[in-house]
Structure 1
Amino acid sequence: MGSEGLSAAPLSRSCFLHASHLAPRQAVPGGGSYCGGRLTPTSLRCSHRGRAAPCSKLYCWEQWLKEEVHIPGTQGLSLQHLYRAMDFLEANKEPIEREIFHRVADLLNLDVEVLFYDTTSLHFEIDQPDRGGGQDDIVHGSLAAGHKPYRAPRKHGLSKNGRGDAPQLVVGLAVTREGFPVRHRVFPGNTVDVSTVARVKRDLRDWQLTRCLFVGDAGMVSAANFKALAAGGGKYFMCMPLRRGDALTEQILARAGRYRTVNQRLQIKEVVIGEGERRLRYVLCFNPEEAARQQAQCCRCCWSALLNTPAATLGATSRTACGASSSRNCLAHTEPSGRSRTRRRKRLSA
């Protein structure tokens, strides 16, 4: 988390301040203790600043603290202090994250009118996924971290980094328009994107961020998510792929109006469906370069079918080839003038 022209020292002090004040007063869940009943703020500081160069706790203790950085007061730390610091941070995750956000938002005057949300996957080089207990597949954290219940995290699922063979986690992240992280949530690796939205919306509500504009991609589209995002006056902006034969798609495409040019790769047209409070705004997006590319690909497929197919099956094969080349997330629609227009629609809540 860095930015050109922004000093990391004030941010580090601000982020660490709340945790270091909690540490001397925090009793360990389960009756344990931190360093004789108190968790040293120095170990928390090391765990926090060590994120600037992510590495294992063992590497941090053996090499990073001794050879690469100088943090006063770390000479007496042992490896167990760093592990116990992580337990403390996990046990107090919610209040610490909330305090960090409000302090940093005030320090940097963050603009949270618009939040962009997406997910990614992180894989692990292990052979078998995690297995929990019971029907809900539950595992528990350490006693020092509060013994919290979690669904078994490392699971096989849809990989976004090409490692479908390895167990993974799914990480959801909400950021501001400048890319500053606001909230994150870790989900089991077999979680699908569409099922993460409601949980993230609740997380944002807990921090009084219900009136921001929520921006998501096509993987988050569902009627349940639209209802959750609109609750309490919430606003959203979601990517919705056009689908051939869909009634709503045909209704949107049938609306008259001109496209407005944003740049050489984007033209847009706004369409309003419905009336009153239940009206919905859609923004049709057209990429001329992508339309030309798909049209050329379709022509190549058709010519290939014409040259290599017997006359008896020529018509059916040509239609199949053209259909396959344009069956993408967007709808390739041909205007009366013969121009191929590739569109996506964006749905706005208001």
Structure 2
Amino acid sequence: MFIKLTTARGHQYVQLVESYRNEEGKARQRTIATLGRLDDAGGQVDALLASLLRAKGRGTEVAGPQVAFESALTLGDVWALHGLWQEVGFDSLAGVFRKARYTTAVEHAIRVMVFNRLCDPDSKLGVLRWLETVSLPEVDTKALTHQQLLRSMDALMDHQDAVEAVVARQLKPMVDQDLSLVFYDLTTIRVEGQTELSDDVRHYGMSKEGMVARQFMLGVVQTAEGLPIYHEVFDGNQSETATLLPTIRKVLARYPHIRKLIIVADRGLLSLDNLEELLALKLDEGQTLEFILAVPARRYGEFHDILQRFNDTITDQENETISETRWQDLRLVVAHNPQTAQHQTEWRRSKIKELENKADQWASKLDGQDSGKVSRGRRLSDSGAKARFYHEVKQAHLAKIIKVDLTSDLFTYQIDEKALKQAELVDGKLLLVTNANEFTPKEVVERYKSLADIERGFKVLKSEIEIAPVFHRLPHRIKAHAMICFMALILYRIMRHRLRLANTGLSPERALAQLRRIQRHQVKVNDQTVEGVSTVSKEQSGVLSALKLKKPSMPEQLTLL
């Protein structure tokens, strides 16, 4: 028997029909009973179904399956980061902590904190709130507590050498063995709090933003392809030049397979002592360490004759001019950018003119006061005018050109024309010292200009990853925070490299924002729970393809028929 629907006078009726064979053996159908109208809510059909459900012990609802949407968690961005984490091999950090017999999943906690830096950077308590909104593969997020996150940071520092060795081992295949051009630079990271502890890295120093702040310094080494391979935390008041050689030695120790190393560093890291020690430094196979260093502007005066001769040879006022000479048995490459030179010269002359106008106004007011003329505002003195003018000259970094006579009783100053010509001589100039002989002068300049990429990495650390300000009080947790942010930067740069190769035009943050819309849904249908992933759009599929990752999926998904 089966149910048959028939229509009569605009209504649908439910009939119970039986199939049978007549005396001739032919298949026929006959109606056993009409159960009632289908479109009659609460009528005979519904009553019959309710009776049958009660007999089966399933209740009396007959309106269809009961659906409850229990959760919708973000999946796409953490899925992508999870895939990269495993591909790079950072999940092997778990072995470090297993050997140390930790009873909690320290690697999972570290993974969570790294992913949070890239998805929604927050405090450690904020990490727990963020975990409530995401579906992180493999990690039991409900078991993590605030204390476990902090203890995992402690474990990270307790086994720092082993952890850094694992990170270096996983990055080695990505580092060129024959010729490794590496870039090194430092930035300052602001910290909060006033407590002072032994072995503290927090000290007052001049920040990169040009103000005195309590801070620590972070040095980062990256390859020419933009892959960070090493980081180091230094005291906030340490000089930049003192960090270069220790960092190089540690990089060589971490990556002994490198046959050749060329270090590129900013002009703040050059000193005569550094040059002598750099030239004396050898790689494992006896090769001399090669470097490309920029001469700091404060030392351009030592190269006046070289710059003057170079200036006399410049004929092209539209394009960059590059030349090479020798200095202390090293190559000295000089580059001149006419657009930059014009901009710097015009700015300086306009600033000098502005200061001269102010000086004339103050001198005129002083002369008027001496002759008995009454003017608006407070009375001005020669000493006050000297102090105000000197302060503004210092603020404009023109004290070498505008000489304020602080010993005179009267307000006087003069323009040092020789210093002005010297300043204009170096406008638009870049001086590079190198012992690398395989590069042409143009290639030396190009390699150095690539250093700007590591500065962009610092901007990523301070903006997208939000490394600062740091609120941790204990020095080892400050270092652990820096390491977590460094590992996040590694994943960020790998994403950036793959997105660029695929010509997506997307930054890692925009790619993660697109993937963030992929969600893991949990639906309860009657007594059965069903999990599934939202539909992956064409754009999201393109991002995953560019990152060389599979589409998100749920194990043992159920399909309702």
TM-score, length-scaled by structure 2: 0.46
Quote the residue 1:81 is aligned against: 148
Quote the residue 2:415 is aligned against: 320
Deviation of the 1:282 alpha carbon? 0.6
Over 3 Å counting, the alpha-carbon distance change for 1:172 and 1:299 in structure 2 is: closer
Over 3 Å counting, the alpha-carbon distance change for 1:219 and 1:229 in structure 2 is: same
Deviation of the 1:121 alpha carbon? 0.8
Quote the residue 1:22 is aligned against: 96
Quote the residue 2:291 is aligned against: 236
Over 3 Å counting, the alpha-carbon distance change for 1:234 and 1:110 in structure 2 is: closer
Over 3 Å counting, the alpha-carbon distance change for 1:266 and 1:68 in structure 2 is: farther
Over 3 Å counting, the alpha-carbon distance change for 1:210 and 1:172 in structure 2 is: farther
Q: For 1:4-23, what aligned pairs fall within 5 Å after superposition?
A: 8-13=81-86, 14-23=88-97
**Distance in 1 (alpha carbons) for counterparts of 2:191 and 2:302:** 43
Quote the residue 1:292 is aligned against: 342
Deviation of the 1:9 alpha carbon? 3.6
Aligned residue identity for 1:223: L
Q: Secondary structure at the match of 1:67?
A: coil
**Distance in 2 (alpha carbons) for counterparts of 1:256 and 1:320:** 23
Quote the residue 1:337 is aligned against: none
Q: For 1:262-301, what aligned pairs fall within 5 Å after superposition?
A: 264=318, 266-273=320-327, 279-297=329-347, 299-300=349-350, 301=352
Q: For 1:13-162, what aligned pairs fall within 5 Å after superposition?
A: 13=86, 14-27=88-101, 34-35=102-103, 39=105, 41-53=107-119, 54-61=121-128, 63-72=129-138, 73-106=140-173, 113-126=180-193, 128=194, 131-132=196-197, 139=198, 151-162=199-210
Greater length-normalized contact order (CA 8 Å, ≥ 6 residues apart): 2
Over 3 Å counting, the alpha-carbon distance change for 1:245 and 1:98 in structure 2 is: closer
Contact 1:235 1:348 in 2 (8 A): yes
Contact 1:204 1:210 in 2 (8 A): no
Aligned residue identity for 1:224: D
Contact 1:210 1:234 in 2 (8 A): no
Residue identity over aligned pairs, in percent, reads 23
Over 3 Å counting, the alpha-carbon distance change for 1:69 and 1:267 in structure 2 is: farther
Aligned residue identity for 2:180: E
Contact 2:109 2:148 in 1 (8 A): yes
Count of aligned pairs between the two proteins: 297
Quote the residue 2:235 is aligned against: 188
Aligned residue identity for 1:92: H
Q: Secondary structure at the match of 2:136?
A: coil
Match of 1:346 among 399, 413, 432: 432
Question: What is the root-mean-square deviation of aligned Cα atoms in Å?
Answer: 3.7
**Distance in 1 (alpha carbons) for counterparts of 2:299 and 2:275:** 22
Match of 1:178 among 225, 229, 241: 225
**Distance in 2 (alpha carbons) for counterparts of 1:196 and 1:227:** 15
Quote the residue 2:397 is aligned against: none
Over 3 Å counting, the alpha-carbon distance change for 1:246 and 1:39 in structure 2 is: same
Quote the residue 2:557 is aligned against: none
Runs of 5+ unmatched residues, structure 2: 1-79, 283-287, 365-401, 404-411, 437-561
